[in-house]
Structure formats: structure tokens, C-alpha cells
Amino acid sequence: MINPVVLIATHGRIQITTKNIESLQRQTMVPKIVLVVSDREELEYYKRFNITVVHSINNPVGRKWQVGVNAASQLDPNPLFILGSDDIFAPDYIERVSKLIDIGEGFIGLTSWLTLDCKSGYVYNCSYRNRNVDFPIGSGKAFSLKVLKDMRFKLFDSTKDKGLDDLSFHKVINLRVTPHLIRTPELLCVKGRWQVLNTVDAYLRSPNIESKKVGRSVINKFDYNDTI
């Protein structure tokens, strides 16, 4: 039975995370949302939404994400989506991926994305290349309930702050699940006035990421109002 659940971890990003939640609640297939926060004031703020909100310390980040996975597991997610708090899905992404899960796919991942740099106003079409060409980005990954159970819902290393995307994907491969990789950019990463894990400059310098400047019209499909 299809039961999409989206897991987000956030800290100090109320404006963009609010837009993210609102965007998810406008999806063509509306998912349940589990949000992990580290600030007590944010915990109270997000209670205004019809979502599950849980609290965890912010470091190590791996522990924070795994706390969220544990909370999401109580909802029997099928599939479970991992989403960065400043990443926006295309409006039909939940529905499209859920249909793939429904016909037997166990894992779906993205290898490209769009990046909006709010400071410059530029938009970049980014995609993995070289050794990363078949490695899915952390945000946008989706796991079937069967795969989650086979992994015992252990998606993140609770002791780590970096390299968090590796464990779950390697487990998928070890289970001999063939990844279904989507090559088109179905996710918009918004770089604004908040702390980010990977800056636009880091993308542009990376030998394993191809970044091309494109016109802003490409972000229209994400139903994102750039007012932050």
C-alpha cells in the first residue's frame, strides 16, 4: 500500500523550511511529513502545521537524521523520502516516485538538481559526473517499505556529521536492489541567508559536479516564490 512520508531535518531555517512544507502540502500526491528540529522555539513554531515534529540535538547530524527515521518508521512509510530543508521537490515528484514504488522499485535517487543562488539571482543546472555519475544525491532519495525493513530502518550513522549519504546507499547495493536513477533535475536547492552544507562556489569548483548557468524560467515548475 502506497503511503508516502517525507523526512526533513532542519535548524535555523524557518523561512525556507516553511516554504518547503507548504510546497509538499501542494504536491499532486500529498505526503505525511516528519520534521526533526533542534531548537525548542522551532519545535513550538512547526506545531502549527499538520505534520509530525520531533526534537533531537543538532550534532552529530547523523544522529539527528536517524531520530527522524525512527519516528517515520512508526508511520509505515512506503516510500520514505529524504529531503533537505532548503530543497524543493517538483510538484508531482511524490506521485511519480510513489508509482514507481508501487510497481516494484525498491530505491529511487536523483543524480541532478537545480540550484538557486538567492544572493546573485543565478540558477545552475547541476549534475554528478566522473566517479559520482551513478551516485544519488542525498536529497530526493526514496526507499520502499520492504527495503527499509530489510535495512532495519538504519539509514544513517548516528556518530557522523559528514558522509551521511553513503551508508543507506551502500546498504541498498548490498541488498542487491537495483537503484532507479532519475537523471532530470526534479529538485530545486535554494541557497539563501542561512547556513548551507555545500555552497554554490563548492559546486562550481567540484571535479565531480557539472554546473551550468541557466535561465530563471527553469524554476517555474517548482511553484517556488522567491521572496526570501
Per-residue pLDDT of the chain (228 residues; tens, 9 = 90+): 999 999 999 998 999 999 999 999 999 999 999 999 999 899 999 999 999 999 999 989 999 999 999 999 999 999 999 999 999 999 999 999 999 999 999 999 999 999 999 889 899 999 999 988 999 999 999 999 999 999 999 999 888 877 778 889 999 999 999 999 999 999 999 998 877 777 788 888 899 999 999 999 999 999 887 654
Q: What pLDDT was estimated at residue 52?
A: 97
- CA 95 to chain CA centroid, Å, is 15
Q: Is residue 204 part of a domain?
A: yes
Q: What pLDDT was estimated at residue 228?
A: 46
Domains in the chain, number: 1
Residue that is written with C-alpha cell 502545521 in the block: 49
Q: Is residue 227 part of a domain?
A: no
Distance (Å, whole) CA 39 – CA 25? 23
Q: Is residue 228 part of a domain?
A: no
The overall longest dimension of the chain from CA atoms, in Å, is 44
Q: Is residue 119 part of a domain?
A: yes
CA nearest neighbour of 155 among 68, 84, 83: 68
Distance (Å, whole) CA 69 – CA 110? 20
Distance (Å, whole) CA 224 – CA 226? 6
Q: Is residue 103 part of a domain?
A: yes
Q: Is residue 152 part of a domain?
A: yes
pLDDT in tens, 69-116: 999 999 999 999 999 999 999 999 999 999 999 999 999 999 999 999
Q: Is residue 107 part of a domain?
A: yes
Q: CATH number, domain at 180?
A: 3.90.550.10
Q: What pLDDT was estimated at residue 227?
A: 53
- Residue 74's domain comprises 5-222
Q: Is residue 156 part of a domain?
A: yes
- CA 36 to chain CA centroid, Å, is 13
